[in-house]
Amino acid sequence: MSEKTVYYIEGDGIGPEVWKAARPVLNAAIEKAYGSTNKLNWVELLAGEKAFKETGEHLPQTTMDTLSKAELAMKGPLQTPVGEGFRSLNVTLRQVFDLYACIRPIKYFKGIESPVKRPDLVDMCIFRENTEDVYAGIEYKSGTPEAKKLIEFLADEMGANVDITAGVGIKPITPAGSKRLIKKAIDYAIAEDKPSVTLMHKGNIMKYTEGGFRAWGYELAEEEYKGKVVREGEEGTGVIIKDRIADAMFQNALMYPEQYSVIATTNLNGDYISDALAAQVGGLGLSPGVNMGDNLAFYEPTHGTAPTIAGKDLANPGSLVLSGTMMLEHLGWTEAADLIHASVEKTLSAKKVTIDLAAQITGATQVGCQEFGEILLANL
Ligand code: NAI
């Protein structure tokens, strides 16, 4: 008997309705694959608007305390409260729990109309560093005393000329931060028998930040994975480690998607390539993800709260279902995960889908969020 506790946050906007449709699909797949031997024990934690209504706080301390000891959690989208002084709840969760790897598989499901000719060749998984880079938030506005002070320091102490009117930002990238992310990507590639890991960077221009990321990636491969990986162009067997400059990576992902499998990259590059690749296979409605640290894996759909369709039974619960499916794979419950993938394909080929997918499938019939969940469940 294997029972796992999953802490879940319902989320704002479409959160409650996508959960209502998605959770029965996950439970049913587990039951179908394992009978009563495997089970998820769902425990709700409060966050977002629901938490604010009940406790006066958007992220109550009890939620944070529980998550600090948790292994598995899943969340619906959280709205960033509007107004000065509110930080994004998502960013807070990532920082507090040091969820340094944002992992997004990008895989094509038959039946979706894609803007590219061979979306079926796209089968990639992006590992995006989540804590460093220009996202560290060290930025100074043009014309402020802080910006001027920094620019003057650069001129006086470092001999570096920056226009005094410039806005300036700092881009920290560390060996440790890069290596722990790249390690997750290589471990995944080895465990899942993937052909390659590509280090995506802009190191030709930003030599000591982006270039550092590349160099530390190869260093890690050399130090910790001898015999298990091989550098592109060298003799040997194992997962191929290669690197591509970011601009070439975007071009190659469109022209030769079959050459890329696991991609490990810095924060900003990862932000861009995630959305570009998701578009190649049909967009947000079926895009799952996880933010992972060393202790906690926090699964979430990549979409937001979709306020304009919230409460109207229009949302696609597919991203949440597939995020849960990633969690099942992480647990090694692959039979249940396979059932769900097969059900999604079957459901798409029957063309009864939510509004977002109906727009991408010729001759589709639109169904609501709950009905789509019921169809996914029936097709397991
Ligand atoms: P969004 O993802 O909520 O919406 C973008 C577009 O996609 C909208 O047209 C929406 O209707 C549609 N859409 C999104 N999810 C859908 C689904 N499951 N089914 C059908 N259509 C769907 O992004 P937006 O509008 O930029 O953000 C809205 C709010 O969500 C903001 O408060 C933002 O801070 C928050 N947000 C939260 C995220 C999270 O919790 N991880 C991620 C992104 C945004």
- Looking only at the bridges linking them, the beta strands covering 101-107 and 123-129 are antiparallel
* Structural contact between residues 349 and 367, judged by C-beta atoms closer than 8 angstroms: no
Summarised one tens digit per residue, pLDDT across range 164-194 is 999 999 999 999 999 999 999 999 999 999 9
Could you confirm whether 183 is annotated as catalytic? no
For ligand 1, atom 36, the nearest C-alpha belongs to 304
Summarised one tens digit per residue, pLDDT across range 266-302 is 999 999 999 899 989 877 778 899 999 999 999 999 8
For ligand 1, atom 31, the nearest C-alpha belongs to 79
Q: Which of 18, 303, 319, 353, when mutated, tests ligand 1's pocket best, judged by the most ligand atoms within 8 Å of its CB?
A: 303
Could you confirm whether 123 is annotated as catalytic? no
Could you confirm whether 108 is annotated as catalytic? no
**Of residues 247, 256, 294, 312, which has the active-site annotation?**
247
Res 84 pLDDT > 70: no
- Give the C-alpha separation, 40 to 231, whole Å: 40
pLDDT band of 83, cuts 50, 70, 90: low
pLDDT at 137: 80
For ligand 1, atom 44, the nearest C-alpha belongs to 304
pLDDT at 103: 97
Summarised one tens digit per residue, pLDDT across range 130-151 is 999 988 888 999 999 999 999 9
Res 1 pLDDT > 90: no
Mean pLDDT over each residue of the chain, to the nearest integer: 94
Could you confirm whether 184 is annotated as catalytic? no
| Ligand 1 binding site (Cβ under 6 Å of any ligand atom) | 14, 77-80, 90, 284-285, 300, 303-309, 315-316, 319, 354, 356
